[in-house]
């Protein structure tokens, strides 16, 4: 499956906002979005400065969809499946979509502070370092449910990386819909996140609904 492996800061520059793709660097002064003056914050590439045309309605919808998809690190086909699932659920489709994305296993590992970025969380899950309700789960797109417990496998806790996590992750805040136990390096899903409980850039998920409803 194709996946972008280039410099992720270019993605943030393309979208014109922080998507928090590079861990701690995104919160420091080395972030390109912070370093550049507003007048120089144009998209990358030799034609970046020339993209001054007012985007069409389709262009606005596309860019909003790309922002969300890229922040969560999901390919188009899988993102479309998540959208179709959000449509099948009752309620507001845009809010359902964000809820599904937040309850992916790789995102939960990231929200618990056990990884510096969603990309790193996805790799840790792929390598089989986590369990869901005591069962080893190595599928990053696995959707957790309220009451589920996500934990680092006992065998993995002896690794140097997770020893460092045990010392440092406690200083990272977790969202209201998750409780964390640093003693066992685990977290419990309290409830499905509501829109006001999701920490994210100012997305307009309604534009994504309009994009797929064309």
pLDDT digits (tens, 9 = 90+) for 87-117: 999 889 999 999 999 999 999 999 999 998 8
Question: Contact 129/153 with Cβ under 8 angstroms?
Answer: yes
The CATH classification number of 9-100+201-212 equals 1.10.1050.10
Residue 38 DSSP label: G
Chain centre distance of CA 71: 5
Counted residue by residue, the chain has a size of 214
Q: Please give the structure tokens belonging to residue 212.
A: 């797929």
Separation between Cα atoms, residue 87 and residue 214, nearest integer Å? 14
Give the pTM.
Answer: 0.82
CATH 3.10.290.10 residue ranges of the chain are: 106-191
CATH topology of domain 106-191: 3.10.290
Question: Contact 104/89 with Cβ under 8 angstroms?
Answer: no
Backbone φ and ψ of 37, nearest 5°: -70, 150
* pLDDT for 164 beyond 70: yes
CATH 1.10.1050.10 residue ranges of the chain are: 9-100+201-212
């Amino acid at each position: 499956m194709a996946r972008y492996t280039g410099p992720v800061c270019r993605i943030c520059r393309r979208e014109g906002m922080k998507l928090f793709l590079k861990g701690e660097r995104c919160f420091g002064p080395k972030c390109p979005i912070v370093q550049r003056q507003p007048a120089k914050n144009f998209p990358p590439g030799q034609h970046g400065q020339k993209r001054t045309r007012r985007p069409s309605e389709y262009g606005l919808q596309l860019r909003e969809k790309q922002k969300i998809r890229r922040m969560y690190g999901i390919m188009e086909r899988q993102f479309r499946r998540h959208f179709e699932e959000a449509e099948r659920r009752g309620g507001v489709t845009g809010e359902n979509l964000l809820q599904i994305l937040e309850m992916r296993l790789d995102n939960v590992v990231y929200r618990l502070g056990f990884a510096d970025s969603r990309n790193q969380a996805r790799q840790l899950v792929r390598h089989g370092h986590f369990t869901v309700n005591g069962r080893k789960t190595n599928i990053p797109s696995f959707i957790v449910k309220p009451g589920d417990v996500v934990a680092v496998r006992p065998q993995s806790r002896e690794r140097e990386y997770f020893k460092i996590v045990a010392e440092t992750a406690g200083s990272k805040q977790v969202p209201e819909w998750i409780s964390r136990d640093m003693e066992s390096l685990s977290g419990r899903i309290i409830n499905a996140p509501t829109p006001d409980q999701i920490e994210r850039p100012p997305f307009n998920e309604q534009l994504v609904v309009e994009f797929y409803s064309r």
